Structure 1
Amino acid sequence: MSTPINRSTPIRLGTRRSALAQAQSGHVAAALEKVSGRAVELVPITSEGDTNRASLSEIGGQGIFATRLREALLAGECDFLVHSLKDLPTAIPDGLVIAATPVREDARDVVITRGGTPLHQLRTGSTVGTGSPRRIAQVRRRAPHAEVVDIRGNVDSRLQRVATGELDAVILAAAGLSRLGTDSPLRREELGLAEWPTAPGQGSLAVETPTDAPEELLRALAALDDPDTRLAITVERGVLEGLDAGCQAPMAAHAQVEGDEIRVRAVVYAPDGDRRIGLDVTEPLNREYIRRNGSGNGADAADGAYPMRAARELGLVVAHRLLEQGAADLVSREHSSS
């Protein structure tokens, strides 16, 4: 049985120290305060991803942002966490649960330039900054004449590198710019998801807490959950899991609920962008089943105990079909080079 909450003490939200992490945690904190009637305080935590400036592809990708925060949560240093869902590995540690996935922000990528030149029209030799293997492969397909520069850093530092002329363009997530409320004279080009799908979970947040958290906290967090977002990201993470893309093979998956159907677009790219293998699949939704059984653990529905298992299974099927159609060659090639 969980311990009751002392309502006179604030709920502690563990968050990375970056401006973006603080902003998105602040949005969730404000929503939780309205639902719970209690104060929420931010507990800054430094992750390896915040201190190690090496390329993400070299230091482990997703898990470097989540590991230290989860250690703090399990140690009782905070009561819950807010993650960028795309930063979370598909395996959720024992003792933790994704208690909510709030309404998703814009899942698209955007190209930031000084003059507004579209990515595919940039001059030969133009420099485009990104540290994502997926975005690197996509840039090489969309603008093969451009030079890709592997970069790290926060949103402001990336924008500054364009403003000063050090780079001609950078690729950023639209959701991050929106959450930060970034006001910049630089120009932006939104990249459509049909031709430029993004990372599984992009634009979504994951609210994580211990499985034995007080029932009052679990109920309050569950009130922040958006069922359509949860369905979509569960499919996307199923694709990621099925591809076993922790090898950093460039891949994208985006799912969207459209009426009584869910549509998923998934692509695996060759690292140099010269090949891509993709699928576009639409399946019907059983909304009555979701309404009776849905809640809580959308992002880590790892077995049949959770109602999101059908969504996860759809993602796994899509991944299997991609592998059968040749994506296995792209993934294995990446394994052999790592």
Structure 2
Amino acid sequence: MAPGSPGSPGIRVGTRGSTLALTQTTTVAERVSGLAELPYALVRVRTEGDVLKGSLSQIGGTGVFVAALRDALLEERCDIAVHSLKDLPTLPAPGLTVASVPEREDVRDALCARDGLTLATLPDGARVGTGSPRRAAQLRAARPGLEVVDIRGNVDTRLGRVAGLVMGAPGDLDAVVLAAAGLRRLGREDAITELIDTDVMLPAPGQGALAVECRESEAMPHVREALAAYDHLPTRLAVTAERAVLLQLEAGCSAPIGALARIEGEDLALEAVVCSLDGRSILRRTRSARATDAVAAARLGLELAEELLASGAADIAPLNS
């Protein structure tokens, strides 16, 4: 359904104002609107992450993209809010609940390089941009000869930093690394020169997934039912296990930690990596368990995190952030 006319009952959907956020939110809004048989209207919310400059670690981690949207929910300026799940802090917000986790997109990181280069064919000394300590550490581990450059900005801004990718843009880098999911949602797959294998670069916990948050006291039953129907259990189980690793490690969303869970037969298989910032120390562990609900998935993540800590994770990475 299209957004309703002014004054008509409907679903107010909170979103950040970036092109990617609007694209993701519109997809979710249309689906929930159709399931609930109610019109929707987008409510744009400007977050600290959209205003502040500097690296994510300097301005408070990826949670800076979430707080203003959560305030809008609690103040009843919107009924649901759509987040990139990897941006959500691991602790829930009082009064709010993640009512739906839709089916996940591609979990992998994508290299977008000049001249069709790949991670293996980039020459030593090539300048590769990323704003993620996790990506930076795994890049340094895989290719110690590369120069990793800290960057920020929206997708188009980052792609414009790569020589020859965007007409008239600076082109001062040889490549950037972005989430494949965001590029796909924006129809920018043409910029991808390599989908980086998860054996080389584990994604951030929750990468490729969206989270639809609402108030615990949400009064519109059609909306709650629609969100429940939109929830994708395999995705929810996977991201629950991944985020439990972060929670138990007491690590922030921007810590150099990757995690990925997959359904394998009747089991949930979870893999996690903890890296030193310079990429010289890498600790990688896997664990599987039967996980048919979120409690079992979370337990799997907590157990793997404990194994990582017992193996020296706290000595490798800056945790407790």
CA drift of 1:247 comes to 8.3
Q: What code does the residue aligned with 1:177 have?
A: L
Alignment partner, residue 293 of structure 1: none
What is the rounded CA distance, in whole Å, between the counterparts of 2:96 and 2:246 in structure 1? Answer: 20
CA drift of 1:187 comes to 4.4
Alignment partner, residue 84 of structure 2: 84
CA drift of 1:216 comes to 2.5
CA drift of 1:261 comes to 1.2
CA drift of 1:194 comes to 2.7
Q: Answer yes or no: is the 8 Å Cα contact 1:115–1:187 preserved in 2.
A: no
What is the rounded CA distance, in whole Å, between the counterparts of 1:216 and 1:109 in structure 2? Answer: 36
Alignment partner, residue 301 of structure 1: none
Q: Normalising to structure 1: TM-score of the pair?
A: 0.88
Q: What code does the residue aligned with 1:79 have?
A: D
Q: Answer yes or no: is the 8 Å Cα contact 1:80–1:210 preserved in 2.
A: yes
What is the rounded CA distance, in whole Å, between the counterparts of 1:315 and 1:75 in structure 2? Answer: 33
2:310 is aligned with 1:324:
yes
Q: How does 1:289-300 map to 2 (within 5 A)?
A: 290=293
**Deviation by residue 1:187-214 (Cα, 9 ceiling, x = unmatched):** 4200112331100000000000000002
What is the rounded CA distance, in whole Å, between the counterparts of 1:317 and 1:335 in structure 2? Answer: 17
Q: Answer yes or no: is the 8 Å Cα contact 1:55–1:131 preserved in 2.
A: yes
Q: What code does the residue aligned with 2:298 have?
A: R
Change (3 A) 1:205 1:314: same
2:265 is aligned with 1:262:
no
**Deviation by residue 1:218-242 (Cα, 9 ceiling, x = unmatched):** 1111111000000000000100101
What is the rounded CA distance, in whole Å, between the counterparts of 1:281 and 1:120 in structure 2? Answer: 29
The answer to which of 89-98 and 242-251 deviates more is: 242-251
SS in 1 for 2:211: strand
Q: What code does the residue aligned with 1:228 have?
A: P
Alignment partner, residue 150 of structure 1: 150
SS in 2 for 1:273: coil
CA drift of 1:85 comes to 0.3
Q: How does 1:127-138 map to 2 (within 5 A)?
A: 127-138=127-138
Q: Answer yes or no: is the 8 Å Cα contact 2:103–2:235 preserved in 1.
A: yes
Q: Answer yes or no: is the 8 Å Cα contact 1:129–1:150 preserved in 2.
A: yes
Q: Answer yes or no: is the 8 Å Cα contact 2:237–2:291 preserved in 1.
A: no
What is the rounded CA distance, in whole Å, between the counterparts of 2:236 and 2:319 in structure 1? Answer: 30
Alignment partner, residue 238 of structure 2: 232
5+ long unaligned stretches in structure 2? 1-6
CA drift of 1:265 comes to 0.8
Q: What code does the residue aligned with 1:219 have?
A: E
| Greater share of residues in helix | 1
CA drift of 1:249 comes to 3.4
Q: How does 1:27-176 map to 2 (within 5 A)?
A: 27-162=27-162, 163=165, 164-176=170-182
2:298 is aligned with 1:312:
yes
What is the rounded CA distance, in whole Å, between the counterparts of 1:194 and 1:149 in structure 2? Answer: 22
Q: What code does the residue aligned with 1:26 have?
A: T
Q: Answer yes or no: is the 8 Å Cα contact 2:13–2:81 preserved in 1.
A: yes
CA drift of 1:18 comes to 0.4
Alignment partner, residue 212 of structure 1: 217
Alignment partner, residue 280 of structure 2: 274
Q: What code does the residue aligned with 1:259 have?
A: G
5+ long unaligned stretches in structure 1? 1-6, 291-307
**Deviation by residue 1:31-87 (Cα, 9 ceiling, x = unmatched):** 112101111111000000011121001111121000011011100110010000000
SS in 2 for 1:153: coil
Give the count of matched residue pairs: 308
Identity %: 48
Change (3 A) 1:275 1:183: closer
Change (3 A) 1:8 1:259: farther
Q: What code does the residue aligned with 2:144 have?
A: P
Q: How does 1:238-249 map to 2 (within 5 A)?
A: 238-246=244-252, 248-249=254-255
CA drift of 1:140 comes to 0.5
Q: Normalising to structure 2: TM-score of the pair?
A: 0.92
SS in 2 for 1:321: helix
